[in-house]
Amino acid sequence: MRYAKKRVRLTAVFAGLAMVALAACGSDDSSDGGGDPTTEPAAGGSDLSGASFTVGSKEFTEQLIMGQITRLALEDAGADVTDETGITGTANVRKALEAGQIDTYWEYTGTGFGEILGNEITEAPTDQQELFDTVAQMDLEQNNIQWTALAPVNNTYALATASSTSEELGVTTMSDYAGLVGSDPDGASLCAASEFINRSDGLPGVAKAYGFEPADVPTTEVDLSLVFTEVPSGGSCNFGEVFATDGRIPANEMVVLEDDKAFFPIYNLALTVTKDVYDANAEALDAIFNPIAEALDTETLQGLNAQVDVDGLLPEEVAEAWLEENGFLG
């Protein structure tokens, strides 16, 4: 039995808002909207006095936290920072970077390899350093974008369900889920955001790797935050798209399905910077962000995300407290 995807938005997200956010990205102090690419390389380690940056991010919690970490760290080094965090979607924030409307944001190596650079996701290197090096070299050569500050955190895509549903349906792996799609499509109902529904490293790629058709899955398009109300409550869907570092997974007693065919690539965080801005400030940027990146493992990011999504703190509050606790603010 085949199902048409239900493109039901449980939270309305207007494309016009995204375009407004994109148009707003940029510094009032520069004709191209970015930082000053003519700034001389910073002397004295991490001193960025006199330099200016426009910092972006995507719109979900982890990205908002990382955007605030970046802003605060740059300001602490003496830079003037314009905050343009919260741009909706990978495509929009990346366009802003390439257009010079922002100077920097944190991206994921798996996303860079597949979605941004257009490679076949199944060909992604399985070693995190090799994947980073491959993406960094390609993006620099093709788009003048510098990748730096590789973090060990792996914020991979995943499917999750309530622990009770996992036990009831006998689904603990992605192969189990594929079997459920074939035997009980209603039981395999999925809540996911638009990007996951359409990206090659999302549902279409998962379906191909695990041997089922995307159209066989009753799919409801939602804002990601609603996955954590719909799935645990048994609302619109039994399964939902999640990111591995989301602190709401344990908070809602959800289990992540094992990717037993290792379809999903590695999604390590790394800082992406326009080449001109990076070249002008390379020494300082590396001195600031390499240690920060090294401290960001999966457990750490899951905890930071939970402080926002579960405890209700603001991303900037969480970012500042973490930087201070780890000695990254002077």
Residue 141 has pLDDT above 50, yes or no: yes
Residues 261-303: tens digit of each pLDDT: 999 999 999 999 999 999 999 999 999 999 999 999 999 999 9
Report residue 46's pLDDT band, with 50, 70 and 90 as the boundaries: confident
Strands ordered across the beta sheet of 157-162: 219-221, 190-192, 239-243, 157-162, 254-256
Q: Are 58 and 194 in contact (CB under 8 A)?
A: no
Sorted by where each starts, the structural domains of the chain and their CATH numbers stand as 15-154+268-325 (3.40.190.10), 157-256 (3.40.190.120)
pLDDT at 6: 36
**Per-residue pLDDT reduced to its tens digit, 181-203:** 999 999 999 999 999 999 999 99
In the chain, the amino acid numbered 14 is F
Q: What percent of the chain has pLDDT over 70?
A: 86
pLDDT band at residue 330 using 50, 70 and 90 as cut-offs:
confident
Q: What is the mean pLDDT of residues 125-138?
A: 97
pLDDT tens-digit series, residues 3-14: 333 333 333 333
Q: What is the pTM of this model?
A: 0.80
pLDDT of residue 322: 98
Q: Which residues contact 179 (CB under 8 A, 6 or more apart)?
A: none
Q: Span 245-255, mean pLDDT?
A: 93
